[in-house]
Amino acid sequence: MRLTYRDALRDAIREAMAADDRVFLMGEDVGRYGGTYAVSRGLLEEFGPDRIRDTPLSELAFVGAGIGAALGGMRPVVEIMTVNFSLLALDQIVNTAAALHHMSGGQFSVPLVIRMATGAGRQLAAQHSHSLEGWYAHIPGIRVLAPATVADARGMLGPALADPDPVLIFEHAQLYNIADDIEPDLNVDISSAAIRRVGSDVTIVTYGACVHKALTAAEQLAAEGIDCEVIDLRVLRPLDTASVLASVCRTHRLVVVDEGWRTGSLAAELMALTAESAFFDLDAPPVRVCSEEVPIPYAKHLEEAAIPQPHSIAAATRTLLGRSS
């Protein structure tokens, strides 16, 4: 079955709603407009306004309403238009949803799923091109997912809704139009990383849209005799450190690719974990490829220069291996 990433997300929502009448979708423009990225197109006609709910332009309010619905026994899927708008709901996500199970001594859970678009590359300038999933990966009490493939876009929602704690799903906006053939019955693991390419010379660890850039770089490097293993983290919290370390112990070299900014990044966490746990397995210091430390520019050529690209991943890998670029 061939689907786009967008259609896979829609099918996942449709399947969840058909299977469980506690599931509903809420967010800005998810109803009549069909969603900012057309993920929910047609669902209002299929399920009606009680289950496909357009909300006012207040992330603080409708994320809070989602938390309340989850506490009341529902299974809400809350769509936030883009990751920058989630900052308007930080108190609800970080100070309430993530903390309530702990603060109630285990008496309450918040089975809430929040979906949002993330990432740069669409010429939406500094305010709509953030990659802030690393911020949320810092927070105990939530699970953070970043589906990079059509299969993961299709298969992650079901287990996310089954999780008793809040789950945040970050959908890179450059992925909505990609297409792939997937199995009709998917059983996606939302606890483990996935090896997208097996290799022996260097481990490239990344997530989201950068998975595809890393695979492109790996194919370029293969033509030069460099064999890259590409790991798709998929789950940013809790990190599957065992899979990363096992790969590094095989290849003895690590490149981390992260569209977030370098300072305080998820890439820095992965490098620190590797240094702590696999220092003597490394044949060279780990390197990272991150976005430039600037607000993401609007101009296309500047935006492309500011974020990781296949050529910058390949160049960093060659340098790590002592090869000339």
pLDDT tens digits, 16-31:
999 999 999 999 999 9
> How many CB atoms neighbour CB 110 within 10 A?
25
User: Exposed e or buried b for every residue in 53-67, given b needs 16+ CB within 10 A?
Assistant: bbbeeebeebbbbbb
CATH code at 249? 3.40.50.920
Catalytic residue chosen out of the listed positions 28, 79, 128, 229: 128
What 3-state class would DSSP assign to 275?
helix
Across the range 41-63, mean pLDDT stands at 97
Q: Which of 181, 216, 245 is the last residue of a domain?
A: 181
Catalytic residue chosen out of the listed positions 15, 28, 46, 59: 59
CATH code at 138? 3.40.50.970
Catalytic residue flag (residue 252)? no
Catalytic residue flag (residue 311)? no
Longest distance between any two alpha carbons in the chain, whole Å: 60
- Whether 325 is in a domain gets the answer no
What span, in angstroms and rounded, lies between the C-alpha atoms of 109 and 107?
A: 7
Domain count, the chain: 2
User: pLDDT by residue (tens digit) across 227-286?
Assistant: 999 999 999 999 999 999 999 999 999 999 999 999 999 999 999 999 999 999 999 999
Same domain membership, residue 214 and residue 128? no
Asked whether residue 324 carries a pLDDT value surpassing 80, the answer given is: no
CB-CB contact of 92 with 262 (8 Å): no
What pLDDT sits at residue 185?
A: 75
CB-CB contact of 85 with 173 (8 Å): no
What pLDDT sits at residue 184?
A: 76
What span, in angstroms and rounded, lies between the C-alpha atoms of 287 and 276?
A: 15
Q: What would the two tokens of residue 268 be? A: 């820095």
User: pLDDT by residue (tens digit) across 95-114?
Assistant: 999 999 999 999 999 999 99
Q: Which of 181, 213, 248 is the last residue of a domain?
A: 181
Q: Which of 155, 181, 207 is the last residue of a domain?
A: 181
User: pLDDT by residue (tens digit) across 118-163?
Assistant: 999 999 999 999 999 999 999 999 999 999 999 999 999 999 999 9
Same domain membership, residue 41 and residue 172? yes
What pLDDT sits at residue 183?
A: 85
DSSP alpha helix (H) spans, 26-92? 43-47, 59-71, 90
CB-CB contact of 117 with 37 (8 Å): yes
Same domain membership, residue 64 and residue 166? yes
Q: What would the two tokens of residue 219 be? A: 């194919």
For 265, the domain range is 194-320
What span, in angstroms and rounded, lies between the C-alpha atoms of 65 and 59?
A: 10
- Whether 187 is in a domain gets the answer no
